[in-house]
Chain A
Amino acid sequence: MMPLDPDLTTLVVGEEETAQIAACLQRLLADTGASYSMVLDRAGQILAWESDSERPEMIHLGALLAATYASTQEMARILKEDGFRTLLQEGLREKIFTETVQDQWLLVVIFDHKVHLGLVKVLAKRASVILSNILDVVRQQRNSLRTPRASQLRKATTDTIDLLFRDETNDRKGRSGE
């Protein structure tokens, strides 16, 4: 039988760990000369990012990268590989290099032609080891959201869902039909 997903519960990333991730990304940018770096979870949500300039549509890029990575894992399964640890997308102006962190997070580096790919690969690998240690700490702190304050947050979020996720046209019809 398949073992249960160790991350079935919510992953709570604390302030200290977020600062460590940010420091890791800043160092990676400084040492490689890359322009953008981020850490995603495997669902495509951006955990942290560092950049030398504002970039639009990064939420969409995160979703696409995570889905692309997940699809390459399926390709690996078909080829009976353990998995592909890295991805590289090469454009005319920029490249995107992605390295996995324990199959849970993705480290993404975006860089232009002035930056050496080999350097990015080596330093991203080193950064992924640091991130892996941070992930271990985060996993040990799992379930820390089960507090009375969190219960209030859940209640308030539920109220917000009722307020925002409604369709006035159909809700009105539904009410008049009652």
Chain B
Amino acid sequence: MALINVAAREIHGKIVYYGPGLSGKTTNLQVIHARIPTNTKGELLSIETETERTLFFDFLPLDLGKVHGFTIRFHLYTVPGQVLYERTRVAVLNGTDGVVFVADGERNRLADNLQSLRELAQNLTAQGKRFLDFPIVFQYNKMDLPDALPVPILDRYLNTIKAPRFEAVAVRGQGVFETLRAISKLVVNKL
């Protein structure tokens, strides 16, 4: 649920990057943080394990500046992808306005992608949201790898709702900003 503060003339939206472990959710935020103009971004906060896996979440506040007198702010979060942290993902998903599902394009990760996607749908439904109407964008990451599945196969198994989807090599920045633009617009159009 987006928040509009008329007195402060501010609009806030929350976007969560969801997906299986090691699919590239944190990498997306790191790339955005590294390449977006300095006056647009806040500090990237990461709560991670000693092996640099996400423990709780990553958080990146973005400030788009003033539009028609309103300050527009997006808060980007990642969830921890490991199966162990299912209840933590529920907590981070709380109050989100849009989701980027970061799928790992590698052939041997399809089952993990499907499990994570099913869990996302269940969690959104449990929070009273209609999965089919909810702003969601798919990102097929690691598409440069030789064993990456072809896009039509990923579409057939993952994107059955025909949401916007983008191929990406997040570690090189490819597809990261296309994904961010798409989910941000979906969230704004739901305001």
Measured CB to CB, the residues of A under 8 A from B are 2-15, 18-19, 41-45, 47-48, 57, 59-60, 63-64, 66-67, 70-71, 73-74, 77-78, 145, 149-150, 152-154, 156-158, 160-162, 164-171, 173
Contacts and interface: CB of A to CB of B under 8 A. Distances in A.
Interface of B: 1-8, 11-12, 14, 31, 35-37, 40, 42-43, 45, 56-57, 59, 61, 64-65, 67-68, 70, 72-73, 75, 77, 87-88, 90-92, 94-97, 125-130, 172-177, 180-181, 184-185, 188-191
B64 A18 contact: no
Contacts of B65: 160, 164
Given A45-B73, A59-B61, A153-B70, A74 B87 contact: yes
26 contacts: A2-B128, A3-B128, A8-B1, A8-B129, A13-B7, A14-B7, A43-B75, A43-B94, A45-B3, A48-B5, A59-B42, A60-B61, A67-B91, A71-B88, A150-B191, A152-B68, A158-B188, A161-B181, A161-B184, A162-B181, A164-B36, A165-B36, A166-B177, A167-B173, A167-B177, A170-B173
A18 B8 contact: yes
Given A45-B75, A170-B173, A74 B91 contact: yes
Given A8-B129, A15-B6, A60-B59, 19 more contacts: A4-B129, A10-B4, A11-B1, A12-B4, A19-B7, A41-B95, A44-B75, A47-B5, A63-B75, A63-B77, A66-B95, A70-B95, A153-B68, A161-B181, A164-B40, A165-B177, A167-B31, A170-B175, A171-B177
Contact of B184 (A14, A59, A165): A165
